[in-house]
Amino acid sequence: MTRTTFDPSTHRVRRAACPDCDLLLTLPRVPSGGSLRCPRCDARLARAPHRSIERTSALALAALFLFVVANAFPFLTLDIQGRTTEATLFEGVRTLWAQDMPFLSLLVLATIIVAPLMHICLLLYLLLPLGRGRRPPGGPRLFALLHHIRPWSMAEVFMLGVLVSMTKLADLADIFPGVALWAFSLLILVIAATITTLDEEIVWARLAPRFEPTKARG
């Protein structure tokens, strides 16, 4: 990473405190592929991944493909005394509903299927036009909505529960991971990568027009 000097006269500025030493600084716009570091303790203050929008768009397309695979193919295959049962993600939701657990069923549906899909679709809706120099309609509101959706995506928690269940059922049945399980595992990593590579400051700068500060009237 390159280091950028703090020059408020030539960059759009913002105020931030160093997370390590609490030094209050005026931060300039971070150039693509660069980073900002605290002049007192050398902690990294901000980072701008190279070609952030293009890389995140590619990752979002890969996430959409993995999401389709994870929901279209069997997640697990159970062999219990010669009886074979294939389970998909949506069938798990239906099973919870059939067992008189509607709240848990809807919670799993929202956090494992709906929230990740909305996260991926919003990224594609916003970033694909931005990569071509166009602003998507309703971009600022939808990008703000993306922040509210992220905490509801709990695919990694669900995956941890699956691994625990597989361990407990290992003595009772033969368990065969399906294609969807591997796709879902990769989906978790790819969604995490979209969050890491996305430079939100660049997205906001392209979504919203530039505003000049208003002057107070005497």
> Residue 34: what are its φ and ψ, rounded to 5°?
-110, 180
Contact present, 55 and 195 (Cβ < 8 Å):
no
Q: Say yes or no to pLDDT of 6 above 60.
A: no
Please tell me whether residues 35 and 56 are part of one structural domain.
no
Residues 29 and 58 in one domain: no
Rounded to a whole number, what is the largest CA-CA distance in the chain? Answer: 85
Share of the chain above pLDDT 70, in %: 70
CA distance 139 to 143: 6
Return the pLDDT at 8: 36
Determine the pLDDT at residue 56.
Answer: 93
Total-model pTM: 0.70
The answer to whether residues 63 and 29 belong to one domain is no
Banded pLDDT at 11 (limits 50, 70, 90): very low
For the chain, give the number of residues.
218
User: Has residue 26 been placed in a domain?
Assistant: yes
Verify that 162 and 112 share a domain, yes or no. yes
Do 89 and 38 fall into the same domain? no
Q: Calculate mean pLDDT across residues 84-88.
A: 73
If asked whether residues 136 and 151 sit together in one domain, one would say yes
- On whether the CB atoms of residues 203 and 53 are closer than 8 A, the answer is yes
Q: Which domain holds residue 82?
A: 52-207
For residues 18 and 44, what is the distance between their CA atoms, to the nearest angstrom? 8
Same domain, 15 and 66: no
Query: 109-158 pLDDT, tens per residue?
Result: 888 888 899 999 999 999 999 988 889 998 889 998 988 888 777 777 76
Percent above pLDDT 90 for the chain: 18
* Residue range 168-202, pLDDT digits in tens: 666 666 677 788 888 988 999 999 899 888 888 78
Instruction: Say if strands 34-37 and 44-47 run parallel, antiparallel, or are unpaired.
Output: antiparallel
107 with 175, same domain: the answer is yes
Q: Please say if the pLDDT value at position 163 is more than 90.
A: no
Among 5-9, 80-84, 206-210, name the one with the lowest average pLDDT: 5-9
Please report whether residue 71 resides in a domain: yes
In-domain check, residue 218: no
Same domain, residue pair 22 and 83: no
Domain shared by 17 and 84, yes or no: no
Average pLDDT over every residue of 3-27: 58
Coil, strand or helix: which one is 217? coil
63, 120 in Cβ contact below 8 A? Answer: yes
Q: Which of 47, 63, 79 is the last residue of a domain?
A: 47
Whether 215 is covered by a domain: the verdict is no
With 90 as the cut, is the pLDDT of residue 76 above it?
no
Highest mean pLDDT among 12-16, 28-32, 86-90, 133-137: 133-137
Are 97 and 11 members of one domain?
A: no
56 and 40 co-located in one domain: no
Cα–Cα nearest to 92, from 79, 80, 104: 104
Number of compact structural domains in the chain:
2
| Better-scored residue on pLDDT, 49 or 73 | 73
Residue 123 lies in a domain: yes
